[in-house]
C-alpha cells in the first residue's frame, strides 16, 4: 500500500496547480491514466480569461460570465474566481509560462477576444496555451522531490469510511489499476482530490482526448457526492471536419480574430441567428450550425479567415495552420470545414469555493467539479481560470485542516473473479452508449429521445455490472463503467429540467422559465 498526505487523481491544470501549491508542505501522490501531460488541459488552445487590461474590469468580466451562463451562475463563485484572475495569471508568469508577448500593449502580452466577451481579456500562448502551461508546470512537478507521479494508473474507486464499515463518510484514498503491471494497488491518503476532467467521450464526436471518460464524477457519485447541472454539456461549435483528423479543435479565437461562418456556397448565416453573430456564446453558435446543417442537409459548415493577411494567420494560429495544411487545407486560402462536437462538462460534483465535496477529505477541482461558475453555459476560457483559482483555494484549505489518522485499508480482493471470455462486450457497449448519447442527448433534445437513451443506458448498466462482478478489471472496463454512470446522470438531469436554458435546449419545453434553478441529484435519494 502506498501512503501520501494528499492523493491527486488527474494531471491536468487543476491537479498540477494543487500539487505545486502543496508540495512544500506535503507528500503528494499524483496519478494519471497515461503520461503526465495527456489530458484536456494540454489540448486547450484559446487561452485563459483574466482582467489584465486597465480598460477592462472585474464587473464586466462577471457580467459577461453571468450572461453566458443564462441566469444559472452562482454570483458569489463568479465574483471570487474573477477577482482572483490577475493573481492566477501572475503566478503562471512567475513560473515561466511563455505567453505571447505584445510590446505595444500595456500588459506586455497579447490579449485576444472570444465569443461572449465584451473585451480582449484572453491571455494565450499562440494557439496552444494548454500545452505551454502544462509543459511548464509539468517540468516543475517532475523535478519536485515531494511529488510522486504515477503514470499509466487509473483510479477504480474511492476508499471511504462507509465502505470500511465505519460511521460517517470520509475519503481515505483510492484503489487504482497499475496498467503496466496489470495489478490493483491501494493508495491511502488523508486528503484526496478528484481532478480527472470531464466526460466528453460519452459522445460519439468530441474535441476531448480519449482520457475524458467521466471517471471522477462517477467515482464521487458512488462515494456519496451530489452532482449538479449535468445536463449542460457544451458543444464546441467548431471542431475540424476531416476523415483523417480526430477531435481537432478550431479555437474560438479564430472567430475572435474575425473568422466568419459560411454555408458551402459562401453565404454567411450567423447574423440571422444572433446580433452578436460569430461572437455569440458557444451554445448559440453551436445550435445555429446544427440548425443550418439539418436545414440544408450538410455534413459541415465552413469557418473562413482566409481574407486576413497570410502572415497574420500564421502568426496567430501556427498550430491550426500547420495541422490543416498537413490535411491539404491552406487556411490562408481556403475556409475550414467544421462541425459542433461535445467539448466541456459544465456540471459535476457539487463543491464549495475550497473545492470541498459532500464527502469529508474529498475535493473536486476543474471540469469534474460544479462550483457554479459556468451555470448553463461556460464562457470561453473561464475553465482554466477556475482550475487555477479553486486549485489554490483547495490547497489552502488542505493545509489548514487537522491531521487525521489513516485506518487500515484492505487490499483489493479479486479472488472470486476470472479472466474475461469475451472482451468484445466492452467495445460493443462502448460504441452503443456513445452513439445513443449522440443521437438522443445532443444539442437539441426531446423527452422521447431522452427516455429512449435512458432505457438503453439501464440495459447497458446491467450488462456492465455483471461483467464488472465476474471478471478481472481492465482500463476499458473501468472507463466504460464510469461513462455509463455519467451518461445516466446527464440524462436524468436533462429529464428533470422542464425548460430550455443555455446548453440544454428541449423541443418539448422551448421557453425559459422566469426563475432559474440548479439541477442537483443526490445519491442518497436514489
Q: Which residue's C-alpha cell is 436554458?
A: 501
Complete edge-to-edge strand list for the sheet that includes strand 336-345: 233-240, 336-345, 301-304, 260-262
**Residue of 452, 433, 431 whose CA lies nearest to 494:** 452
Q: What is the dihedral of CA 272, 273, 277, 283, to 10 degrees?
A: -160
Number of H helices, E strands in the chain: 15, 20
Which residues are CB-contacts of 498 (< 8 A; sequence separation ≥ 6)? 506, 509, 513
Q: Which helix (H) or strand (E) holds 468?
A: helix 447-470
Dihedrals φ, ψ of 447, to 5°?
-60, -40
> What is the DSSP secondary structure assignment for residue 279, as one 8-state letter?
G
Chain-centre distance of CA 298, in angstroms?
A: 28
> What is the DSSP secondary structure assignment for residue 222, as one 8-state letter?
H
Q: For helices 85-95 and 129-143, what crossing angle results, to 10°?
A: 60
Residues marked as catalytic: 282
Rounded Cα distance, 417 and 204, in Å: 31
**Residue of 105, 116, 97, 99 whose CA lies nearest to 54:** 105
Q: Which helix (H) or strand (E) holds 400?
A: helix 383-400
Amino acid at each position: 500500500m502506498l501512503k501520501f498526505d494528499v492523493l491527486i487523481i488527474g494531471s491536468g491544470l487543476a491537479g498540477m496547480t494543487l500539487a505545486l501549491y502543496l508540495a512544500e508542505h506535503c507528500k503528494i501522490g499524483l496519478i494519471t491514466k497515461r503520461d503526465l501531460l495527456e489530458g484536456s488541459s494540454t489540448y486547450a488552445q484559446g487561452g485563459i480569461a483574466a482582467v489584465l487590461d486597465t480598460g477592462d474590469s472585474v464587473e464586466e468580466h462577471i457580467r459577461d460570465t453571468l450572461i453566458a451562463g443564462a441566469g444559472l451562475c452562482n454570483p458569489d463563485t463568479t465574483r471570487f474566481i474573477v477577482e482572483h484572475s490577475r493573481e492566477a495569471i501572475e503566478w503562471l508568469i512567475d513560473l515561466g509560462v511563455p505567453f505571447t508577448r505584445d510590446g505595444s500593449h500595456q500588459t506586455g502580452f497579447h490579449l485576444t477576444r472570444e465569443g461572449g466577451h465584451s473585451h480582449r481579456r484572453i491571455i494565450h500562448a499562440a494557439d496552444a496555451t494548454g500545452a505551454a502551461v502544462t509543459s511548464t508546470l509539468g517540468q516543475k512537478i517532475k523535478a519536485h522531490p515531494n511529488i510522486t507521479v504515477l503514470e499509466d494508473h487509473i483510479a477504480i474507486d474511492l476508499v471511504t469510511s462507509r465502505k470500511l464499515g465505519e460511521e460517517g463518510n470520509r475519503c481515505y484514498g483510492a484503489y487504482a489499476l497499475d496498467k503496466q503491471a496489470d495489478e490493483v494497488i491501494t493508495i491511502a491518503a488523508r486528503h484526496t482530490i478528484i481532478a480527472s476532467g470531464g466526460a466528453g467521450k460519452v459522445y460519439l464526436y468530441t474535441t476531448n482526448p480519449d482520457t475524458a471518460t467521466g471517471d471522477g464524477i462517477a467515482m464521487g457519485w458512488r462515494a456519496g457526492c451530489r452532482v449538479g447541472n449535468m445536463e449542460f454539456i457544451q458543444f464546441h461549435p467548431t471542431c475540424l471536419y476531416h476523415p483523417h483528423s480526430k477531435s481537432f479543435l478550431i479555437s474560438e479565437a479564430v472567430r475572435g480574430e474575425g473568422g466568419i461562418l459560411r454555408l458551402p456556397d459562401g453565404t454567411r448565416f450567423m447574423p440571422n441567428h444572433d446580433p452578436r453573430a460569430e461572437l455569440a456564446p458557444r451554445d448559440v453558435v453551436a445550435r445555429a450550425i446544427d440548425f443550418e446543417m439539418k436545414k440544408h442537409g450538410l455534413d459541415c459548415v465552413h469557418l473562413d479567415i482566409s481574407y486576413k493577411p497570410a502572415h497574420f494567420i500564421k502568426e496567430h494560429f501556427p498550430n491550426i495552420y500547420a495541422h490543416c495544411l498537413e490535411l491539404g487545407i491552406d487556411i490562408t486560402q481556403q475556409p475550414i470545414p467544421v462541425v459542433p462536437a461535445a467539448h466541456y462538462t459544465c456540471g459535476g460534483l457539487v463543491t464549495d469555493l475550497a473545492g470541498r465535496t459532500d464527502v469529508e477529505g474529498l475535493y473536486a477541482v476543474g471540469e469534474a467539479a460544479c462550483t457554479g461558475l459556468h451555470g448553463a453555459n461556460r464562457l470561453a476560457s473561464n475553465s482554466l481560470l477556475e482550475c487555477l483559482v479553486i486549485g489554490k483555494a483547495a490547497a489552502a484549505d488542505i493545509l489548514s485542516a487537522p491531521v487525521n489518522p489513516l485506518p487500515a485499508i484492505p487490499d483489493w480482493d479479486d479472488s472470486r473473479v476470472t479472466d474475461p471470455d469475451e472482451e468484445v462486450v466492452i467495445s460493443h457497449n462502448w460504441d452503443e452508449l456513445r452513439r445513443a448519447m449522440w443521437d438522443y442527448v445532443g444539442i437539441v433534445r426531446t423527452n422521447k429521445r431522452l427516455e429512449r437513451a435512458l432505457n438503453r443506458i439501464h440495459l447497458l448498466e446491467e450488462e456492465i455490472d455483471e461483467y464488472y462482478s465476474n471478471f478481472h478489471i481492465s482500463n476499458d472496463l473501468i472507463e466504460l463503467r464510469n461513462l455509463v454512470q455519467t451518461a445516466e446522470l446527464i440524462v436524468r438531469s436533462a429529464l428533470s429540467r422542464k425548460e430550455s436554458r443555455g446548453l440544454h435546449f428541449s423541443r418539448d419545453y422551448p421557453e425559459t422559465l422566469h426563475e432559474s434553478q440548479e439541477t442537483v441529484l443526490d445519491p442518497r435519494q436514489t
